[in-house]
Structure formats: structure tokens, C-alpha cells
């Protein structure tokens, strides 16, 4: 299972939101490029970037920063936020970004998703961000009536390479991932699922291994690696070597203190 550091971009800075609330943002670093280099040097298999300004505006905003990050690291980069038309996706992938993450258009323009999956095979990922099982859109500012599992099944049929599932109520809270929702989603589709939201410790990461063989192939970690609750190098080693059933009950962040 991949452990994937998140870099959320707001006004060109590396930030974290609490439950997707733009009013509750915390700046962790003024230099996202330096942050990206740090995670790559520590062994991150890929980086997950979110253009928060773009998600709110409906079009990419932090493209210069994203391009600088792609040039600075030698690991794959996936990016979401504000990708709501073909040209935005094409422009992003032309920078060297490996995968474009679509969110709002998956609900509002499924035909566009199908077109992009055909034009850019294996490069289109769908991000499903849910509140109480229902999909949120437009930078999490709106909540639809679409069920997350139903949307995942439709996107898999259209050719999406993977699904990134975020439980908004867990995002930025360090309360642990929503294992039940992830298990249900992963069991409903045949394409990989990447977990996002709530990871607070290596124990949480190992608990995701316990979902195997459901198809959860990665976990995006944000706030926890910035606060030090998760040490990326140790997390990568633990996930690479361990399985949940082999881990003692008291294993947690203290094991890596």
C-alpha cells in the first residue's frame, strides 16, 4: 500500500484545512516546492497536490507552483482542484503531472469524464469527497444527493484509473479513516481505491492494510505528517513490512517516537 503525502495549495502556500473549511486553514509552509522535495527525499512513492484556490474558483489557479513541484521531484505527481473542462486537464498533464483528479465534473458532467478517460488512458482519477455518504462538489462547498458508492461504480465503468475517497468529516481531524465506508466502496468496484482523510498514526495506516484484499491500494496523509504524528520514513517502512494481524494492540505513534 502506498503512503502518499498531501500538499494542499492555497494562495501559493502549503496549508491544511479542517473538514474542508477554507475559514479554518493552517499554513504549514510558505514554500510548497521545498515541502515536495522533502517528502520525495524521504521516500514518498508519489505526491498528492490539491489546488484549493482552483477548486473554489472552478479552474486551476496554482499551476505555476504545480509546475515547479513537478520539475523539482522525480516521483509521480497527481493533482486535483478546479479541473472542470478538457483544456484544463490537458494543460495540467502537459506539465508532466502523471494523473489528473476530477471531482465536480464526475457528478455534473459524466460524459466529459468518459471523454477524458478515452483521451488520457490511465491518467484520469476520480476524487469522491463525501459527507454522510453523499458526494460533495465545488471545493466541498456544496453537497449533492448522489451516493458515493453509486458514483464510484459509474466512474469505474467509464474508465477511471482509480478512486480517491475522502470522508470530509474526517479530513484534517486526525480522527482516523472511515474504515466501514472505505470497505463498502472498495468492495463495490474493481479499480483501486485510495483512502484520504483522518489518518493520524501509523496504526491508522496499518488498519487500512486490514481491509485487504478489498482494493485499498494507497492512503493520502496530510496533517499528520506536518504535525509529526506520522513520520513518513517510518510509516513507509511499517506499511511495507507489516500487516495488521501481525501488529501488537499497543502499536501506535509512540513506537516511532
Percent with pLDDT over 70 in the chain: 86
**231 counts as catalytic:** no
Sign of the four-CA dihedral 233, 201, 178, 213: positive
Q: How far from the centroid of its chain's Cα atoms is residue 43's Cα?
A: 17
pTM, to two decimals: 0.87
Mean pLDDT, the chain, rounded, equals 87
Joined grid coordinates for residue 214: 478489498
Predicted local confidence at residue 172, as pLDDT: 57
Using a 10 angstrom Cβ sphere, with 0-12 exposed, 13-18 middle and 19 or more buried, the burial of residue 121 is exposed
Question: Of these residues, 129, 167, 204, 229, which one is catalytic?
Answer: 129
CA dist 40 → 4, 43, 73, 145 (Å): 10, 5, 6, 38
Question: Of these residues, 8, 167, 171, 229, which one is catalytic?
Answer: 8
Bond from prior residue into 163 cis (ω within 30 degrees of 0): no
Domain boundaries, the chain: 2-256
Q: Does domain 2-256 have CATH number 3.20.20.70?
A: yes
Rounded Cα gap, residues 210 and 181, in angstroms: 14
Lowest mean pLDDT among 73-77, 117-121, 144-148, 233-237: 144-148
Joined grid coordinates for residue 58: 472552478
Residue with cell 464510484: 152
**171 counts as catalytic:** no
Half-sphere exposure of 79 (CA within 13 A, CB side): 34
Amino acid at each position: 500500500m502506498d503512503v502518499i503525502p498531501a500538499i494542499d495549495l492555497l494562495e501559493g502556500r502549503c496549508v491544511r484545512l479542517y473538514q474542508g473549511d477554507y475559514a479554518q486553514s493552517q499554513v504549514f509552509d510558505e514554500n510548497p516546492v521545498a515541502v515536495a522535495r522533502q517528502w520525495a527525499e524521504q521516500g514518498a512513492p508519489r505526491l498528492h497536490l490539491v489546488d484549493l484556490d482552483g477548486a473554489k474558483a472552478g479552474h486551476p489557479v496554482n499551476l505555476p507552483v504545480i509546475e515547479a513541484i513537478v520539475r523539482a521531484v522525480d516521483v509521480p505527481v497527481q493533482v486535483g482542484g478546479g479541473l472542470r473542462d478538457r483544456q484544463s486537464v490537458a494543460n495540467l498533464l502537459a506539465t508532466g503531472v502523471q494523473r489528473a483528479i476530477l471531482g465536480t465534473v464526475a457528478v455534473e458532467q459524466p460524459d466529459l469524464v468518459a471523454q477524458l478517460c478515452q483521451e488520457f488512458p490511465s491518467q484520469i482519477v476520480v476524487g469522491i469527497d463525501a459527507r454522510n455518504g453523499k458526494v460533495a462538489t465545488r471545493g466541498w462547498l456544496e453537497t449533492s444527493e448522489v451516493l458515493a458508492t453509486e458514483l464510484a461504480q459509474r466512474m469505474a465503468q467509464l474508465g477511471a484509473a482509480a478512486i480517491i475517497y475522502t470522508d470530509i468529516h474526517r479530513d484534517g481531524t486526525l480522527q482516523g479513516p472511515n474504515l466501514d465506508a472505505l470497505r463498502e466502496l472498495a468492495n463495490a468496484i474493481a479499480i483501486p481505491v485510495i483512502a484520504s482523510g483522518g489518518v493520524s498514526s501509523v496504526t491508522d495506516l496499518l488498519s487500512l492494510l486490514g481491509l485487504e484484499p478489498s482494493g485499498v491500494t494507497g492512503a493520502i496523509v496530510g496533517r499528520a505528517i506536518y504535525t509529526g504524528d506520522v513520520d513518513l520514513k517510518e510509516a513507509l517502512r511499517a506499511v511495507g513490512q507489516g500487516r495488521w494481524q501481525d501488529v501488537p494492540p499497543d502499536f501506535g505513534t509512540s513506537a516511532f517516537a
